[in-house]
A and B are shown apart, each in its own frame.
Chain A
Amino acid sequence: GAVVSQHPSWVICKSGTSVKIECRSLDFQATTMFWYRQFPKQSLMLMATSNEGSKATYEQGVEKDKFLINHASLTLSTLTVTSAHPEDSSFYICSARDPWGVGYGYTFGSGTRLTVV
């Protein structure tokens, strides 16, 4: 089946620095990828929809200048958390849509746990 690889799986960074998270579709091309954020004991919250070759679409309340998304190829989307602060500490998860995988077409990465100290 479709596989989505997400790296790194965990990262610790200092407050004020930027962190980049990669999301790759390994065996299919994904024109659309999604980025979610999840705080402890809470559900996944969609942050943005990443479209290959065009600007991402951000959900209401998500700062696009803070969470930079780049989808430069059909197999790679990146999320950069700029000037990270402790409140950005969270579990970030990406998802890619295999256009030929109807129903089970949404495949998720294993997540990245970001801790900002």
Chain B
Amino acid sequence: DAKTTQPPSMDCAEGRAANLPCNHSTISGNEYVYWYRQIHSQGPQYIIHGLKNNETNEMASLIITEDRKSSTLILPHATLRDTAVYYCIVRVEAAGNKLTFGGGTRVLVKP
């Protein structure tokens, strides 16, 4: 699976949009971009995933560049409960395939 690069940490203001970048310059054509987050002392939680097109759900939006070498996770209105470590993962969608976590971005939402 392709390697991802994320900033180690970032702060954002409560109520504002949080934009989390992820670089995956070696991504293959059949690899999806996944985002998970881990709130302190809990198991990771799925947020969103995509292949080529931008995606949106009730939690976030995922913007993937046209060349697919980078993506941005957008939390439209960050709340204090969004404070967590956010992981960007790229992998082939196949049964039994494992998820490999990188360092992630530690996001602190401040009042």
Contact surface of A with B, Cβ cutoff 8 Å = 4, 6, 31-32, 34, 36, 43-46, 49, 51, 91, 93, 95, 97, 99, 102-104, 106-111, 113
Q: Chain B at the A interface: mostly helix, strand, loop or mixed? A: loop
B34 closest partner in A (C-beta): A103
Query: How many whole Å from B41's CB to the nearest CB in chain A?
Result: 7
Query: How many whole Å from A75's CB to the nearest CB in chain B?
Result: 17
Determine the distance from Cα of A34 to Cα of B85 in the docked complex, in whole angstroms.
20
8 pairs of residues in contact across A and B, judged by CB atoms under 8 Å: A31-B96, A32-B95, A43-B101, A91-B41, A95-B44, A103-B93, A108-B43, A113-B41
B43 closest partner in A (C-beta): A108
Beyond A34-B99, A106-B99, 13 additional pairs, beta carbon < 8 A: A32-B95, A36-B101, A43-B102, A49-B98, A51-B96, A102-B93, A103-B32, A104-B49, A108-B44, A108-B45, A110-B42, A111-B41, A111-B42
Q: Which of A43, A97, A107, A110 contacts B95 (CB 8 A)?
A: A97
Interface residues on B, range: 20 to 34
Interface residues in B55-111 by Cβ distance below 8 A to A read: 85, 87, 93, 95-96, 98-104
Contact surface of B with A, Cβ cutoff 8 Å = 32, 34, 38, 41-46, 49, 85, 87, 93, 95-96, 98-104
Quick one: given A44-B44, A91-B41, are A103 and B104 in contact (CB under 8 Å)? no
Query: How many whole Å from A112's CB to the nearest CB in chain B?
Result: 10
B99 closest partner in A (C-beta): A106
User: When the two chains form their complex, are residues A49 and B96 in contact, meaning their CB atoms are under 8 A apart?
Assistant: yes
CB-CB under 8 A from A110, the residues of chain B are: 42-43
Determine the distance from Cα of A24 to Cα of B49 in the docked complex, in whole angstroms.
25
